[in-house]
Amino acid sequence: MKKKDEEKYLTAKELNEFFEKFEEQSKIKKGGRDGQSIQYKTLFTLLVMTGIRIGEALALNWSDIDFNKQILTINKTQVELKRKVEVSTPKTADSNRVIPINSDYLLELLKEWKTNQRKIEEKFNRENSEYSGIVFL
């Protein structure tokens, strides 16, 4: 008989420890917040607070986030097919959904990351690249 799959989630205590260690490492690495650490912190916080899948998060465009209505539209997912990463529609119709963003903290992180990302794009003249508008690269 096959052993029942273990549940795959972190407890509140484990999440707190994760974010504390993340903050410590970010400060040690760059002496504060840098573009990469704010991107990862935003990604991890989004995953935890909304319950979306990693593929859904990686497929997000800024147009999928409505800051005024405080909602997140999930209508695509990132998948790897034959060693190539692609964005496709979700497997089921129920995977298309609108998720409320009930956390001011998450909204502020998203806004901070969007501003930071825009500065990075401007610095490297990438405002109109094929990746412009993608939330997490």
Residues facing 77 on adjacent strands: 88
- The answer, yes or no, to whether residue 3 has pLDDT greater than 60, is no
- In this predicted structure, what is the pLDDT of residue 131? 74
Q: What is the pLDDT of residue 7?
A: 63
Q: 46 near 110, Cβ under 8 Å?
A: yes
Residue 4 has pLDDT above 80, yes or no: no
Model pTM score: 0.80
Residue 132 lies in a domain: no
Domain-embedded: residue 102: yes
CATH code for position 100: 1.10.443.10
Average pLDDT, the chain: 85
Give the pLDDT score at 90.
Answer: 84
Mean of pLDDT values over 81-90: 88
Establish if 7 belongs to a structural domain.
no
Residue range of the domain that includes 103: 12-123
pLDDT for the residue 30: 58
Residue 4 lies in a domain: no
Fill in the DSSP letter of residue 64. Answer: G
Work out how many domains the chain is built from and give that number: 1
